[in-house]
Copies of this chain bind each other. A is one copy, B any other.
Amino acid sequence: MGASKSDYFTIEQNEIAILMKALGHPARIAIIEHLLKIDSCVCNDIVNEIPLSQPTISQHLKELKNAKIIKGSIEGNSICYCINDETFNQIESYIKQIIKTDQEKKSCC
């Protein structure tokens, strides 16, 4: 098939999976790390930094934006992309909850 049966799972499970999936590519991780490194946050910059074509990077940026991992606002000719801190806080609290719940369990392996 190839299509994941998302309707079998809860909204929350699908939402967290979408976030993780968006982070599940080295180019997108590299984009995020570059956004953090530079002080401004234009996009053409990224094209010179990451060895992928402009359309490919544009596509990755679109995916990150769809997942609300980054925010983009038009800044004249170029676009200002930057980290969406709310989404990362959401991811952090999800991961934290897993760790906490796991610690409360008696481990069996």
| Number of copies of this kind of chain in the complex | 2
Mask for A36-54, Cβ within 8 A of B = 1, else 0?
Answer: 1001110000000011100
A108 CB contacts on chain B under 8 angstroms: 39-41, 80, 82
With A91-B95, A95-B95 as given contacts, are A36 and B85 in contact (CB-CB < 8 Å)? no
Across the interface, name the chain B residue whose C-beta is closest to A21: B24
Q: Are A83 and B95 in contact (CB under 8 A)?
A: no
Taking beta carbons and an 8 Å cutoff, which residues of A are in contact with B? 4-6, 8-10, 13-14, 16-18, 20-30, 32-33, 36, 39-41, 50-52, 71-73, 75, 80-83, 85, 88-89, 91-92, 95-96, 98-99, 101-103, 105-109
